[in-house]
Structure formats: C-alpha cells, structure tokens
C-alpha cells in the first residue's frame, strides 16, 4: 500500500512539474498579454494542484498536510483575483486584445 | 523524485524569466512576476520535503500571501500613479 | 455576531496551524489574539454575510467538485493547445448578462470563470460581464450559461 501511494505521489509530482513547464512555454509562445494570462493559469491550477497533491500523499495525516491544504486554498482563492486585476488593468489601460468580439445572450 | 520536481520548477522559472525580460508591456512583466511567485511558493514547499524540513511550508504560505498583495499593489500604482490616491479610480472605463 | 464568532474560530485554527505547539501559554495567547481580531473587525463592520460567507458551506460541497472537474478538463485543453506546433488559438470576447442576484454571487462567478484556464473575466458588473476566451469553443461553452446557472443555484436566496 505504501509503495503504491509512493508511486502515485511520484506520478503527481512529475506530471505537476510537466504542466508547470507547459505553462511557462505557453507564456513564451502566446502572442499577446490576454492569451498569455491563459497559459499562466494552467500553471496556477493544474501544475500547482498536482505538485501539492503529490506532496500531500508524501506527508500523510498531520500538521504538514493541513499546511499544504492551506497553500492550495490560498492559490484557489487568491490567484484568480490577481489575474482578474491584471486583465482589468490591461483593459483599462487600453490594450486591445487580438480577438473577434461578439455578444451572447443579450 | 522531489529532485525532479525541483528541477522542473527551476526550468519553469527560467522560462518565465525570459518572458519577463522580453516584455513588451508592463503587464506581461507583472504576469511573469506573479507566475514566478507561484513557482517560488511551490519550490519552497518541495524543497522543504527534499531537505526533510517541513518548516519551509510556513515560508511558502507567507510568500503566497505577499505575492498576491504585491501584484495588486503594483497594479494599483500603475493605474493611479499612487498606492493610496483614491483619484486612481478615475481611470475607470477609459 | 454568528459570522464574527465563526471568523474568530477560523483565525484560531490558523494560529494553531502555524504555531504547531500545544502549550498552555501559546494556546491562550492564540485565543486572545483571535478574539481581539474578531472583535476589532466586528467593530469595523468588516465581517458580514458577504465578507465571511459560511452559510454557503454545505452547498460548496456540491459546487466545488464540479468546478474542479471543469478546471482539470479545460487545463488539459489549454495545455494541448500550447504544445500544438501551430498554436491553434482563436481569441474571442464574450459579453453576457449574469443572472445572479447578489454581489457575492457575481464575485463567485467571476472568480470561477477566471480560475478555469481558457477564460478570464475582464470586466464584471451587475449589468454585464466581459470575458476573454482563448478559443471559440471555450466561448461557446461559456455562452451556454451552464456555469452561470450553477453559480446562481450555489448562491441561493439573497
């Protein structure tokens, strides 16, 4: 059982690291600020989540696991706020996104 | 295996640093700074496990709190030219 | 008062988590600090139904798993786009009118949209949401209003 949990946490850690690198590559490849934000949110959600999950399996029950959960909740609640503040600031500043505009459900 | 995650996070931060250098707008650099902050938080957590010192998790929590506050503070500064000036809200809807 | 008490309990739990020592002095010092902060923020009118929404607790257990599944699915989609050699993006701006009745509900919707990779909220107001989607497919999924309806159900009666 322990060996199984160990292997599972390794899988989570490795794939989390992979998604972090993918997010960074997206940050470099995307053409404008609004699309780059999408790439960064892959890093914030799946990359961070998988790495924390992998660490959680290694920690077992206890104070360490609770702290990891707090870190996860912090990312869960705070990162969209910062992202929205950034996108809104760019929009208010007058940066035009390369996008087709349309209205749905008026 | 923690080592692999550590190396991946270092590579991530190096790549994002490239975006911070390339820019071109201040918002790109801020997004890069924010992402590097998230990576640093994860890095601290993984490093704590790698060294067998879970106290690093406290540092990671504080780093995460400061990261968000720092990003929003810098954004406020660029929007209104001041950290506290309520007149900064006049830029609404331009 | 109920919200101040629950905020005080949450603060005390955070104190215990960070300290990790369970001695009489530290326990009572933490209780004193949590009480002081809860009382001060009660006096400053910082804690209310909106600032500390514990009444949403039970329904969150239904909404969060759905949101998590949504996040994982769209994060996978965005990752596939990033590693695709031709970078097949079709950025789209969507405007729509949210159906929530309270500010809290609209904040939950805006945060959920932003947390899901592939869509970010640019502007959020009672009349109109402005959302930037990475692909047209993502914009279409948003336009069906599934997330909007779920958040309205999650928010409950005002």
Confirm if B13 and B43 have CB atoms less than 8 A apart: yes
* Number of domain units in chain A: 1
Confirm if C13 and A69 have CB atoms less than 8 A apart: no
Which residues from A are below 8 Å from C77, CB to CB? none
Residue B34 lies in a domain: yes
Between B41 and A97, the more confident residue is: B41
Q: Write the pLDDT tens digit of every residue in C36-56.
A: 888 888 888 777 766 667 777
Domain, as residue range, for A63: 2-92
Q: Which residue reads 């406290």 in tokens?
A: B58
Confidence band of B11 (pLDDT split at 50, 70, 90): very high
Q: Please state, in angstroms and rounded to a whole number, the distance separating the CA atoms of residues C3 and C47.
A: 7
Residue A100 lies in a domain: no
Helix or strand or coil: residue B87?
A: helix
Q: Residue C27: its pLDDT value, please?
A: 87
Average pLDDT over residues B25-54: 88
Residue of C57, C77, C134, C137 to mutate when probing chain A, most A C-beta within 10 A: C134
Which residues from B are below 8 Å from A20, CB to CB? 8-9, 12, 39, 42
Residue A86 lies in a domain: yes
Q: Which residue reads 């960070």 in tokens?
A: C18
Which residue of A lies nearest to B58 if distances are taken between CA atoms?
A67
Confidence band of A104 (pLDDT split at 50, 70, 90): low
Q: Please state, in angstroms and rounded to a whole number, the distance separating the CA atoms of residues B50 and B1.
A: 9
| Tokens encoding B67 | 């990261």
Residue A70 lies in a domain: yes
Tell if the CB–CB gap between B7 and A17 is shorter than 8 Å: yes
Residue B92 lies in a domain: no
CB-CB: which of C72, C93, C119 is closest to A99? Answer: C93
Q: Which residue reads 């786009």 in tokens?
A: C81
This model of the complex carries an ipTM of: 0.85
Domain, as residue range, for B58: 8-82
| Nearest in space to A105 (alpha carbons), one of B55, C153, C142, B73 | C142
∠ CA C45-C14-B62 to the nearest 5 degrees?
95
User: In chain A, which residues touch C (CB < 8 A)?
Assistant: 19, 22-23, 25-26, 29-32, 34-35, 37-39, 41-42, 45-46, 63, 66-67, 70, 76-77, 79-81, 83-84, 87-88, 91, 97-106
Please give the order of strands across the beta sheet that includes C129-133: A100-103, C92-96, C129-133, C119-124
Residue B46 forms contact with A (CB below 8 Å): yes
pLDDT at B63 over 60: yes
Confidence band of B93 (pLDDT split at 50, 70, 90): very low
Q: Please state, in angstroms and rounded to a whole number, the distance separating the CA atoms of residues C145 and C151.
A: 10
Q: Cβ-count burial of B80 within 10 angstroms (0-12 exposed, 13-18 middle, 19+ buried)?
A: middle
pLDDT at B85 over 60: no
Tell if the CB–CB gap between B45 and A16 is shorter than 8 Å: no
**Strand C129-133 with C119-124, pairing:** antiparallel
Q: Please state, in angstroms and rounded to a whole number, the distance separating the CA atoms of residues B65 and C43.
A: 25
Residue A98 lies in a domain: no
Which residues from A are below 8 Å from B71, CB to CB? 82, 85-86
Q: Cβ-count burial of C20 within 10 angstroms (0-12 exposed, 13-18 middle, 19+ buried)?
A: middle
Tell if the CB–CB gap between A30 and C145 is shorter than 8 Å: no
Which residue of C lies nearest to A19 if distances are taken between CA atoms?
C79
Which residues from A are below 8 Å from C117, CB to CB? 38, 41-42, 45-46
Where do the domains of chain C lie?
2-43, 56-155
Neighbour tally for B10: CB within 10 Å = 13
């Amino acid at each position: 059982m322990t060996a199984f949990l160990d292997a599972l946490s390794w899988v989570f850690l490795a794939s989390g690291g992979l998604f972090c690198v993918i997010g960074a590559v997206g940050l470099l490849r995307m053409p404008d600020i609004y699309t780059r934000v999408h790439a960064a949110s892959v890093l914030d959600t799946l990359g961070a989540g998988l790495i924390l999950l992998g660490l959680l399996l290694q920690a077992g029950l206890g104070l360490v696991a609770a702290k990891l959960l707090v870190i996860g909740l912090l990312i869960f609640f705070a990162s969209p706020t910062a992202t929205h503040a950034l996108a809104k600031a760019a929009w208010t500043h007058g940066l035009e996104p390369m996008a087709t505009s349309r209205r749905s459900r008026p | 295996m923690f080592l692999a995650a550590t190396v991946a996070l270092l590579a991530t931060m190096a790549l994002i640093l490239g975006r911070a250098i390339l820019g071109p707008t201040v918002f790109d650099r801020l997004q890069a700074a924010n992402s590097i902050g998230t990576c640093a938080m994860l890095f601290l957590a993984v490093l704590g496990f790698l060294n067998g010192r879970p106290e690093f998790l406290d540092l990671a929590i504080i780093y995460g709190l400061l990261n968000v506050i720092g990003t929003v503070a810098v954004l406020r500064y660029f929007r209104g030219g001041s950290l506290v000036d309520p007149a900064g809200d006049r830029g609404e809807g331009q | 008062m109920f919200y101040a008490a629950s905020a005080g309990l949450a603060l005390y739990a955070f104190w215990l988590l960070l300290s990790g020592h369970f001695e009489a002095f530290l326990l009572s010092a933490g209780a004193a600090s949590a009480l002081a902060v809860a009382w001060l923020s009660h006096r400053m009118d910082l804690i209310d139904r909106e600032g500390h929404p514990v009444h949403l607790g039970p329904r969150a257990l239904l909404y969060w798993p759905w949101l998590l599944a949504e996040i994982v699915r769209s994060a996978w989609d965005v990752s596939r786009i990033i590693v695709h050699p031709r970078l097949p993006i079709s950025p789209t701006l969507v405007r729509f009118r949210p159906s929530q009745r309270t500010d809290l509900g609209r904040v939950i919707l805006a945060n959920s949209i932003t947390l899901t990779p592939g869509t970010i909220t640019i502007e959020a107001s009672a009349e109109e949401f402005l959302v930037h989607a990475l692909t047209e497919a993502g914009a279409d999924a948003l336009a069906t209003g599934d997330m909007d309806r779920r958040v309205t159900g999650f928010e409950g009666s005002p």
